[in-house]
Chain A
Amino acid sequence: MNRQTLAPGLDGQKAGVVPRPASAGGVQRVRRSFRIDPWSVLWIGATLILLFLVVAPMLRLLISSFQSTDTGAFTLGNYVTAYGNPRRLIGLGNSLFYGGAVVLVSIGFAVPLAWAVARTDMPGKGVVRATVLGAFITPSYLGAIGWILLAGPNAGWLNRVWKAVTGADTGLFDVYSFAGLVLVTALYAFPYIFVFTADALDRVSSEMEEAAHILGMSPLRTVFKVTLPLVMPAVLGGSIIVFLDTVALFGTPAVIALPARINIMTLQLWQFFEFPVRAEAAAAYAVPLVLITIAMLGLQRLILGRKGYVSLTGKGGGRQHMALGRLRWPVLGLCLLVCSLAVFLPYAALAQAAFSRAWGQGFSVANLTLGNFSYLFKEASSRQIILNTFTYSAATACVAVGLALIVAYVVSRRLVLFGGVLAGLCMAPLVVPGIVLAIGFYAVYSAPPLALYGTAAILVLGFTTRFLPIAFANCMAGLRSLNPEMEEAVRILGGSRLLAVRRVVVPLLKKSLVGTWLLVFIPASRELSTAIFLVAAKTRVISVMILDLSENGSFELLAALGFFLLGVTILIVLLGYRLVGRDFLLRKS
């Protein structure tokens, strides 16, 4: 018995020769723990990396929040500075409210779109999917400016059209309002929930829907009572990401909330970095956000409770698209409306700048140029920056997905006692505003013994830490929908844990993992606050270039860069389609 049970993990192909009971007895477990199981090596290794990536910078953050700026001595003064002012408390309150509102609006956009794309026979699914990813890659700063051009109260295009048509004195929309802020943020945040949900909906087999149908339930009721409840974990997982991301967002609030005079936490936080710098107070201001993250995870657990969300079992059920009949086109119309709000309209407004010599002149043939685009490619430095961005983001996505899958597996299959702690650790980095976290990264990574400053590795590590939560949440949602019985079958047949993961979990979650990869890749490619702290002369990335361009008023170049990013995203989606076949994001099946 022993030789063979020793072997399978190392030589997966020959596994399954000796059947073993599913639940190993206590004696066996003790004996097994003395062997070096490759799976244990893997997960212990993953945990150690996690400790290094997440715990070190976060601990740094926590410690510095108790340190005096001048002397480094223990103090609670930072918390007094951070919270001893009603304006700051209001800012924090507003941010939480803002995050909640963005989540609700995002769900409103994402879930119907995901359902239409994944479960119906609506036409034009490829366009909708590609556009949603286009919205995702749009830097929030640029999307917000696009909306200012559309819905600025004085000169916004939509308002000018409205005034021209109705003869009214005042415009219809005001982007500088809380509603404007929430809408614009949600338009570029909803893709998180969309990708999570569409992916989960893709996995739900039609058996349960059919059962409901046979029991006389109407199709619409089936959607609300059967289909959507099954993808609850995905919707919740995506919502938590959107919430955390919104609370820590700076770009959109900087261009919309500030002129609208809406007091938001990140705007307050930024002020701590004006001279005299109080980075320690900023850390203190951010610490409660980690507690909020933990509370959200608790809430998630409470909502999901003990209900089952397993939709993927060993017996492969078919997936039947719901026939919409005459409703096909109206549903597509609704989807395209969301796409228009997020991409078509703002990019039309931005196009005026991207293709102009001087965008302030307005549209004229003489003012048209492709010069802004050729400038981006002509300059060796901008080519390098673009290449850096995509390389680092791809590396980040690979590391984050690998790490997240292992840790999520350990947590979801309850293989360790401290799974909850691990889950909390994995989720924490996202909510801490980038600039605060970045100081922790810089302190940990650039100092000896690592001394990674100036290398590409420091950026990849920083991005991996920052976006690990996204990968982790998505992997958890995927694993929840997977019936553990299939892995247990492998174990019963003598296969190792590693084999079960490699040959069962990964293939079944393949689509989901590709989606997760994109969910990390895209935000990593637009991440600014971590990047600005960690870049060196040779390792600059697009987001930092965008900041430069916005600061010297080169809006024409900035808009051209936005178009370039949009084009590249669509290319990546098409390339993925070629590589992975029909089952990638443009799946037609």
Chain B
Amino acid sequence: MRKANWVPPLWAVIGLGLLAASGARAETAHEQELYDAAKKEGSITWYSGILDQQICDRVGQAFSTQYPGIQVDAIKTTSQVAFQRLLQDLKAGQVQSDVLTTTDIGQMVFLKSKGELVQYVPENGAGLAKALQGVDPEGYFHTGWVGLASIVYNTAKVKPADAPKDWPDLADAKWKNQITFGSPNYSGMVGVWTVAMEQRYGWDYFTKLNDLGPQIGRSIDDAVTVLNSGERIVGMSSVATALRSAAKGNPLAVVYPPSGVLMVISPSGIIKGAPHPNAAKLFMEFQAGPEYSKILVENFEQPLRPDVPPSPGGKSLADMKLFAPTAEQIEKELQPNKAKWRDTFGM
């Protein structure tokens, strides 16, 4: 009797083992081919301007689980530092990194124009949300992360009914000395916000905001700290940061404006001359695949694929209206906007 009880679990273990083994194997012939080549390279170095180090490490571990034998050295810094390091590496003729993910699409456009990127279209890219596909039509860089920016308020101080509903409501006189946001001179995402708002409402929008005596921080995420402290009660912030903080129990809520949540794509690209080119391609497949999006969701980030449900409290991209200025618009408008910002806000 006792002995018999052993049998089913044993079969289950073996079955699970087989399942795990098959899971570890690459899905398609193309992936298998890449994996075989990448295994010889053994590792990949990823310069990341997105997420934080712990999440980047989680991504690396998940990659190594899916593709045993390939280790990921994730180096998280700010996008500016990552890019500066890359430029130094290129200058010295010693490329240290295989893949760069940056919050600043302008950097990718620049690298592409200098011929420093490898053209590669990941097969998994077809499974990405429609809005995230084809960032670079020629396939030199792809969506590595998507940042959403929206209106956030302190629920302890503002009733949901009184909260701003859409972007123009932020400029309402009732928020005098109560509003906060970052600066385009220090945050790429805030920069894209200025491009988007100017397109919609004209620069006058910011003149009105300035009349309200806003508290201007540096990064887009500063707003969350300021709102939690109660120093200001409404603001513009990154959705993921606000959701993460709200999930802990902080009094924050995100408004999804009917006219659209601002979407900013952070692209990933393979550096030409990278020491592990096949592992890099495999990593691009991984970023476009479901496992990566699941890790994003665990950390309250937006999943890149529609087949991965968003975090509790979050929304999927299909359920919200989005707007995103194009790379050309950003490139054209951002610099003049920074200057206009200095004139309007004095900083």
Contacts and interface: CB of A to CB of B under 8 A. Distances in A.
Nearest to A545: B53
A21 interface: no
A481 B231 CA distance: 50
Contacts of B251: 358, 360-361
Interface stretch (B70-78, B266-274, B279-287): B70-78
A170 to B, nearest CB: 10
A81 B13 CA distance: 67
B185 A271 contact: yes
Interface stretch (A49-57, A530-538, A571-579): A530-538
Contacts of A537: 57, 73-75
A145 B73 CA distance: 32
A154 B57 contact: no
A442 to B, nearest CB: 5
B177 A154 contact: yes
A254 B225 CA distance: 14
A385 B268 CA distance: 27
Nearest to B109: A275
B249 A358 contact: yes
A533 B231 contact: no
A178 to B, nearest CB: 14
B302 interface: no
A266 to B, nearest CB: 12
A552 interface: yes
B194 interface: no
Interface stretch (B81-89, B199-207, B257-265): B81-89
Interface in B309-347: 335, 338, 342, 345-347
Interface stretch (A233-241, A446-454, A463-471): A446-454
B231 A148 contact: yes
A549 B232 CA distance: 21
A149 interface: yes
A432 B345 CA distance: 28
Interface stretch (B15-23, B138-146, B164-172, B211-219): B211-219
B76 A548 contact: yes
Contacts of A563: none
Interface string A69-94: 00000000000000000010000000
Interface string A210-250: 00000000000000000000000000000000000000000
B234 to A, nearest CB: 12
A325 interface: no
Interface string A432-466: 00000001001100111001010000000000000
Contacts of B29: none
Nearest to A253: B218
Nearest to A538: B73
B133 interface: no
A279 B84 contact: yes
A40 to B, nearest CB: 36
A439 B88 contact: yes
B88 A536 contact: no
Interface in A143-162: 145, 148-149, 152-156
A276 B106 contact: yes
Interface stretch (B32-40, B240-248, B290-298): B240-248
Interface centre among A263, A276, A556 (most CB of B within 10 A): A276
A274 B105 CA distance: 12
Given A276-B106, A442-B88, A552-B241, A87 B216 contact: no
Given A360-B250, A439-B88, A148 B229 contact: yes
Nearest to B183: A258
Nearest to B187: A274
Interface in B86-112: 87-89, 91-92, 94, 96, 104, 106-107, 110
B231 A156 contact: yes
B52 interface: yes
B342 A87 contact: yes
B150 interface: no
A544 B75 CA distance: 11
Contacts of A446: 88-89, 92, 94, 96
A554 B53 CA distance: 13
Interface string A261-299: 101000100110111110100000000000000000000
Contacts of A447: 92, 94
A87 B250 CA distance: 39
B52 A548 contact: yes
A551 B88 contact: no
B110 A276 contact: yes
Contact of A443 (B75, B88, B186, B249): B88
Given A259-B217, A537-B73, A551-B219, A275 B104 contact: yes
B216 A258 contact: yes
A537 B44 CA distance: 12
Given A154-B177, A271-B186, A535 B87 contact: no
B241 to A, nearest CB: 4
A448 B106 contact: no
B88 A553 contact: no
A532 B92 CA distance: 19
Contacts of A145: 225
Contacts of A156: 231
A360 B245 contact: yes
B54 interface: yes
B224 interface: yes
Contact of B229 (A155, A276, A545): A155
B227 interface: yes
A567 B314 CA distance: 38
A381 B215 contact: no
A14 to B, nearest CB: 52
Nearest to B177: A154
B84 A277 contact: yes
Contact of A555 (B110, B178, B225, B338): B225
A274 B186 contact: yes
A359 interface: yes
Nearest to B228: A360
Contact of A551 (B52, B83, B104, B228): B52
A199 to B, nearest CB: 36
Contacts of A169: none
A453 B77 contact: no
Interface in B108-127: 110
Interface centre among B83, B177, B230, B244 (most CB of A within 10 A): B230
B173 interface: no
Given A360-B154, A361-B249, A532 B218 contact: no
A203 B281 CA distance: 65
Interface string A501-545: 000000000000000000000000000000011011100100011
Contacts of A555: 225, 228, 245
Nearest to B102: A275
Interface in B147-197: 154, 156, 177-178, 183, 185-186, 188, 191
Interface of A: 87, 145, 148-149, 152-156, 176, 254-255, 258-259, 261, 263, 267, 270-271, 273-277, 279, 357-362, 367, 379, 381, 439, 442-443, 446-448, 451, 453, 532-533, 535-537, 540, 544-545, 547-556
Interface of B: 51-54, 57, 73-78, 80-81, 83-85, 87-89, 91-92, 94, 96, 104, 106-107, 110, 154, 156, 177-178, 183, 185-186, 188, 191, 215-219, 221-222, 224-225, 227-232, 241-242, 244-245, 248-252, 335, 338, 342, 345-347
Given A551-B52, A553-B221, 13 more contacts: A148-B231, A154-B230, A176-B215, A254-B218, A263-B347, A271-B185, A275-B80, A276-B335, A358-B249, A360-B250, A548-B54, A552-B221, A555-B225
17 contacts: A154-B231, A258-B217, A258-B218, A259-B216, A261-B216, A271-B185, A274-B338, A275-B106, A360-B250, A362-B156, A443-B91, A446-B92, A532-B81, A537-B75, A548-B53, A554-B244, A556-B248
